[in-house]
Amino acid sequence: MKPIYSGKAKTIYEYDEDKVLIEFRDDITAGNGAKKDVKKGKGYLNALISSELFKILEESGVKTHFIKYIEPNKILAKKVEIIPIEVIVRNIAAGSLCKRYPFKEGQELKEPIVQFDYKNDEYGDPMINEDIAVNLDLATREELKEMREIALKVNDILKKYFDKKGIILVDFKIEIGRCKDGLVVADEISPDTMRLWDKETRDILDKDVFRKDLGDVIAKYKIVAGRLGIIKKEDNYV
């Protein structure tokens, strides 16, 4: 199979006319590729965690591109046209929100913040609003409205789900694609694209461990997979 796209941590292969195979690699990057490393088992853990979260969303009535998990580090998915907008939802202030605005790190937000960032490395993924998105022909107003609704629904479902597993969903990023079924959640949902904190200790269980040099990032991703009950004790992928 020939790759049709290779990003910083994933390679996409054409499977057939309407499906793609997404390979999660062990590459890890931060700061738009400024910091790079390879961590054994990361591709496996992210494919596994993403698959579980896509299943949870589908069971709760959110359409996604997910078809099935292929051991150890691939997902079979519907081919979609990705809308180049990163949809971020925040429950607790962290990361760039605290750099740009006077929010305190760890502060609970009165209500979730939905943020649209233009997926464009050349411009440094700037935050955009509806008018900019429409004028750049990234999406229609109707799509943007639906994207916000999808993002808030994903937040409701995943926040409750992680809470039951003793994890706080601080924030996350999703990508949305167009396909025959309409708009669907695509790409990945993993500790690379979410902030996850232990509910008791507030220990960081996501890519911030790598971004901020806080220790063994794979050990944290394993804790997440363990809490979700999806990691097999006997597996030797990590």
Residues that bind ligand TMP (CB under 6 A): 88, 94-97, 125, 171-173, 193-195
Helices (H) and strands (E) in the chain, counts: 6, 14
**Crossing angle for the helix pair 141-164 and 42-59, nearest 10 degrees?**
110
Smallest gap from residue 89 Cβ to ligand TMP (A): 8
Q: DSSP state, 83?
A: -
Least gap, CB of 187 to ligand TMP (angstroms): 9
Q: Which is nearer to ligand TMP, 19 or 153 (CB)?
A: 153
Could you tell me if 84 and 120 are in contact, meaning their C-beta atoms sit under 8 angstroms apart?
yes
Q: Which is nearer to ligand TMP, 49 or 235 (CB)?
A: 49
CB of residue 57 vs ligand TMP: minimum separation in angstroms? 17
Torsion-angle region of 173 (φ positive above 0: left; ψ -120 to 50: alpha; else: beta): beta
Query: How far apart, in Å, are the Cα atoms of 153 and each of 114, 149, 150?
Result: 11, 6, 5
Closer to ligand TMP by CB, 165 or 232: give it. 165
Residue 1 or 5: the one with the smaller Cβ distance to ligand TMP is: 5
Taking the complex as a whole, how short is the minimal distance between the CB of residue 86 and ligand TMP, in angstroms? 6
Q: Which is nearer to ligand TMP, 172 or 221 (CB)?
A: 172
CB-based closest residue to ligand TMP: 95
Q: Which two tokens stand for residue 114?
A: 């939905």
**Those residues with Cβ within 8 angstroms of residue 108's Cβ, 6 or more apart along the chain or in another chain:** 91, 92
Partner residues linked to 197 by β-bridges? 168, 204
> Distance (Å, rounded) from C-alpha 226 to C-alpha 53?
14
Tell me how far, at minimum, the Cβ of 117 lies from ligand TMP, in Å: 7
The answer to whether 217 and 210 have CB atoms below 8 angstroms apart is yes
Amino acid identity of 129? N
Cβ-based nearer residue to ligand TMP, 62 or 194? 194
The least CB distance from residue 81 to ligand TMP, in Å, is 20
